[in-house]
Structure 1
Amino acid sequence: MELNTITYNRGTKAQRILLLGPSLGGNSTHQWTRVAGELIDDARIVFVDLPGSGLGPVWDDADEPTLDAIAAGIADAARKAREEAGADLPVYFAGLSISGATGLHLARDYDDLFSGVVVVASAATVGEPARWIERAEQVEATGTQQLVDETTKRWFTPGFRAEQPAVVSIIMEALSSVDDHSYAQLCRALAEHDVRADLPYITTPLLLIAGERDTSTPIANVELVAETAPRASLHVVAGAAHQVPVARPVETANLIRSFITGNVASLVVSESSD
């Protein structure tokens, strides 16, 4: 699977690469740009588009709807980013929601390529398989516009929606404009996602970032990953719902910076809660 990528700071002298992946129905550039701005001197940053969103091509049905297929595409993008950089730089990945789930597949299967993976608002299982299949069929029939109102309430707290309506509008526009079949195939991939049995054997360093008010990803599921994967750590971001990088970009960036630089003692700057 070939995924579209956009390099944010091509001229940087940073000695590491960070790929950033979006949520289901999300636009990576929109969801991660403020975080990327904070990390502009820390890593060569590459936004990754999932099929059918952003500038990504639609889902190619030659690919099975699995997160393994997405992970293979991200791994290829990582290799290309390293080639473009012209150096054997360490590579990291940070993914939100479905991309965070995919990050666990990367950590499991590509430990020779990725020096660390950041899983944001996701876990070893996500939701119920039957519900994902139902949503896939629903979207194939009537599109994603019907999902916008309910998803907005899950993705953002009432306070953030009131304070930042323009930001919320930009993020939700991506969901309403995503390719329906591609979105449905990603739902089917989430239905198959379950790496709980693999967690004890994942030796790639993991940083788990969870939103305190995220109703989409139960904290118990995130804690399971943190407690089972041998090199995992967990940070809960106060006041944030599902879209943690959008609602808390500075804190998210500081957590990622600490992780990719190995400076675990660096200060995390708190942002006002909703």
Structure 2
Amino acid sequence: MTVLDLPAISTVELTSSRASPLLVVGPSLGTSVRELWGEVAALLTDHFHVLGWDLPGHGTNRSVSEHPVSMESIAYGVVASVDRFLEMNGLSHPRFAYAGDSVGGAVGLHLLLEHRSRISAAILTCTGARIGDRASWRERALLVTGQGIQVLVEGSLQRWFAQGFAQRRPDVTDTFTRRLLEVDTVGYAQVCDALAGFDVTDRLAEIEAPVLAIAGDQDLPTPVPLLREIAEGVQDGHLAVLPGVGHLAPIEAPESVADLLIAHLSA
């Protein structure tokens, strides 16, 4: 398939250990990769060179495509962005490991399907082979387009974090609220539309690379059965369930995610 008009994807270097194996990490809708994966990356400094990417209109990526985007086109954009970074810095990683949360995990499934020669193994957290339904994503895209990002703040915080997390880590919820309010409405709506058309349930069996699916037992948008479906549907899959964790496992349980990631990729 030839994909035209790839969405602009920006890379964010989360660790500078460039002699180590490359790990690429992807964010959730409405978040920036630095805030979501930064604490995990800090725990991986001795193991991996961690490179993140931001969705259109999110975080460091202020570019928004004039054309509709899909999970597949975002995946192609991620590979192109990673390759640009490697070339500019004189690095060579024909294959790399990948980890993504929510939308980042959906993109990861397309990387595993469409770029299988590049992905050595994957960790997919709080995601699914399909997420939500077409009508609700269309509705949210129209809502944010008509009323602005601010209308999403309360609902996003409720979906993102397990009960009690905001009280334990108000610094995190404050930061994620600020980053959400900075998201470009067009970019957010485009990703909603991409999610509306996303469903690779029937293709899971094509995925050969080892996959670890990590679920939070308090995750409402992508509950445990969706992660179990991935783990059981791919050829070499495993499931881990984190207690007391909601939809953003990398920031809610960074030590657990880092330990699972190291064990999976070392194996």
| Partner residue in 2 for 1:271 | none
**Matched residue, 1:4:** 10
The letter for the 2-side match of 1:182 is G
**Judging changes above 3 Å, is the alpha-carbon distance between structure 1 residues 147 and 111 closer, same or farther for their aligned structure 2 residues?**
same
TM-score, normalization: structure 2? 0.93
The one of 142, 155, 170 aligned to 2:175: 170
The offset of 1:161, in angstroms, is 0.8
Partner Cα distance (1:117, 1:85) in 2: 24
Task: State the one-letter code of the partner of 1:131.
Answer: S
Q: Is 1:93 aligned to residue 93 of structure 2? A: no
Match of 1:158, SS? coil
Aligned residue number for residue 266 of structure 1: none
TM-score (norm 1): 0.91
Amino acid of the structure 2 residue aligned with 1:78: V
Write the deviation string for residues 223-266 of structure 1: whole angstroms up to 9, x where unpaired. 1111111111111111101111111000001111112222xxxx
Rounded Cα–Cα distance in structure 2 between residues aligned with 1:138 and 1:237 = 32
Do 1:53 and 1:178's aligned partners in 2 also have CA atoms closer than 8 Å?
A: yes
The residue aligned with 1:74 is 78
Counterpart of 1:231? 236
1:270 aligns with none
Q: Mark the runs of 5 or more structure 2 residues left unpaired by the alignment.
A: 1-6
> Equivalents in 2 of 1:253, 1:88: separation in Å?
21
SS of the equivalent of 2:127 reads coil
1:59 aligns with one of 32, 56, 64: 64
Q: Percent identical across equivalent pairs? A: 32
Please tell me the root mean square deviation across aligned C-alpha atoms, in Å: 1.4
C-alpha offsets along residues 4-44 of structure 1, whole Å, 9 cap, x if unaligned?
11212234431x11111110010100111100000011111
Residues paired across the two proteins, number: 260
Distance 1:56 1:87 in 2: 24
Give unmatched runs, 5+ long, in structure 1: 263-274
CA distance 1:208–1:93, change in 2 (3 Å): same
CA distance in 2, matches of 1:216, 1:260: 26
One of 54, 77, 81 as aligned partner of 1:49: 54
User: How far apart are the structure 2 equivalents of 1:187 and 1:179?
Assistant: 13
Corresponding residue for residue 207 of structure 1: 212
1:66-115 deviations in whole A, cap 9, x for unaligned?
A: 10111001111232344335234641111111111111011011010111
Give the direction of change, closer, same or farther, for the CA distance of 1:88–1:157 in structure 2 (3 Å limit).
closer
Q: Quote the residue 2:131 is aligned against.
A: 126
